[in-house]
C-alpha cells in the first residue's frame, strides 16, 4: 500500500492506494489559504498518523500544485498558497512520518494515473491537461512520466496574443477566469483548443485526456474544444488522436502520487 497526498489550491486529499492504482481509503479537506503553508502541514500531521496505523503503507507520494524539483523533493513555486517557494517538502514528510517520500507536480501525478489506470490506459503516448483553478499538463510515454528540470508540459503558462498583451492561457481559460467573469465556458474551451492543437502538432500523442472542474461542464465545453482543435491542428495528425474526458475522477492526483511513491519501492521497468 502507498499513501498519495494532494496539495492543491482549494483542497487537500490523502488516500491509500495499491501498487496497481486501486483506491482503498480517501480523506478530503478544504485548504485554508489564509493559514498558508503552516496550516496545510498541520492538517497533514492531524490526518496521516491515524491512516498509517490502519494501513501497511510502504512509501508516500506528494502531488503539489505548482512547479517542483522532484529530484530534490523541493517546491519551486506556488501560484495558489503562500509560503511554499523553496520549501523542502520531501524532507519534511520523511522526518515527520519516517517513510520514503517522492514529490511531484500535481498535474504530472494526474497524467500518470490517467495513463496507467484511466482514460489513457493502453495507449503509448498520453497527454493530460486539467482545467480547474489553474491549468496544468503532463506527458506519459510508455507508462513513464516525461519531465525536465522543474517539470514540463506547462500548457497553462503558454502565451497567446490578445491585442498588445501576451497573457498566459490560464488567464483566459481557467476556472478562476470564468469565476471572475473574464471568460465563459465556451471561450475557455476555444482558448484551450488553440493550446491543445499546438500540443498535438508538437507531440502527436495517441490520446489527449482533459480533466478538472471546467471540463465537467460536459458537451458545453468539449464540443467547442474538439471543434477548435480539429480546425487548427496540423492536418496530417487530424486522425491520429482521441480527445477524451478524464476517467479517474476526484482522487486522480492522489492515485498518481501513490503510483510515483510505488516506484521508490519497486521501480517500473
Domains 2-108+250-265 and 121-245 share a fold: yes
User: What is the mean pLDDT of the segment spanning 240-245?
Assistant: 97
Task: Report yes or no: 178 and 192 within 8 Å, Cβ to Cβ.
Answer: no
Please state whether beta strands 59-64 and 101-105 pair in parallel, antiparallel, or not at all (unpaired).
parallel
User: What is the mean pLDDT of the segment spanning 150-171?
Assistant: 94
What pLDDT digit, counting tens, does each position of 147-160 carry?
A: 999 999 999 999 98
Q: Where are the alpha helices (DSSP H) in 106-157?
A: 106-117
Domain boundaries, the chain: 2-108+250-265, 121-245
pLDDT at residue 181, rounded to an integer: 93
Q: Give the whole-angstrom CA distance, residue 218 versus residue 36.
A: 33
Q: Which one, of 170, 178, 196, 185, lies nearest residue 221 by Cα?
A: 185
> H or E element: which one contains 199?
helix 185-203
pLDDT at residue 82, rounded to an integer: 78
CA dihedral 184, 130, 12, 63 (to 10 degrees): -150
Q: Which one, of 61, 111, 154, lies nearest residue 247 by Cα?
A: 111
Strand order in the sheet with 59-64: 23-30, 11-17, 2-7, 59-64, 101-105
CA dihedral 158, 216, 238, 110 (to 10 degrees): 60
Architecture label for domain 2-108+250-265: 2-Layer Sandwich (3.30)
Question: 121-245, which class in CATH?
Answer: alpha beta
Amino acid at each position: 500500500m502507498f499513501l498519495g497526498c494532494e496539495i492543491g489550491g482549494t483542497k487537500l486529499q490523502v488516500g491509500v492506494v495499491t501498487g496497481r492504482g486501486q483506491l482503498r481509503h480517501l480523506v478530503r479537506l478544504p485548504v485554508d489559504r489564509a493559514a498558508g503553508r503552516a496550516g496545510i502541514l498541520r492538517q497533514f500531521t492531524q490526518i496521516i498518523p491515524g491512516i498509517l496505523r490502519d494501513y501497511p503503507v510502504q512509501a508516500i507520494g506528494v502531488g503539489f500544485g505548482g512547479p517542483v524539483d522532484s529530484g530534490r523533493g523541493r517546491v519551486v513555486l506556488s501560484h495558489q498558497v503562500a509560503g511554499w517557494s523553496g520549501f523542502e517538502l520531501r524532507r519534511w514528510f520523511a522526518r515527520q512520518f519516517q517513510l520514503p517520500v517522492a514529490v511531484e507536480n500535481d498535474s504530472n501525478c494526474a497524467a500518470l494515473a490517467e495513463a496507467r489506470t484511466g482514460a489513457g490506459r493502453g495507449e503509448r503516448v498520453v497527454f493530460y491537461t486539467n482545467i480547474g483553478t489553474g491549468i496544468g499538463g503532463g506527458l506519459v510515454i510508455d507508462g513513464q512520466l516525461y519531465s525536465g528540470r522543474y517539470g514540463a508540459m506547462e500548457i497553462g503558462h503558454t502565451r497567446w496574443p490578445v491585442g498588445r498583451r501576451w497573457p498566459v492561457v490560464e488567464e483566459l481559460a481557467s476556472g478562476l477566469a470564468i469565476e471572475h467573469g473574464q471568460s465563459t465556458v465556451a471561450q475557455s474551451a476555444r482558448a484551450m483548443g488553440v493550446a491543445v492543437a499546438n500540443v498535438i502538432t508538437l507531440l502527436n500523442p495517441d490520446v489527449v485526456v482533459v480533466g478538472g472542474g471546467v471540463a465537467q461542464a460536459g458537451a458545453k465545453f468539449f464540443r467547442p474544444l474538439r471543434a477548435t482543435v480539429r480546425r487548427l491542428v496540423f492536418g496530417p495528425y487530424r486522425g491520429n488522436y482521441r480527445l477524451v474526458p478524464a476517467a479517474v475522477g476526484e482522487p486522480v492526483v492522489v492515485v498518481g502520487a501513490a503510483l510515483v511513491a510505488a516506484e521508490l519501492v519497486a521501480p517500473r521497468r
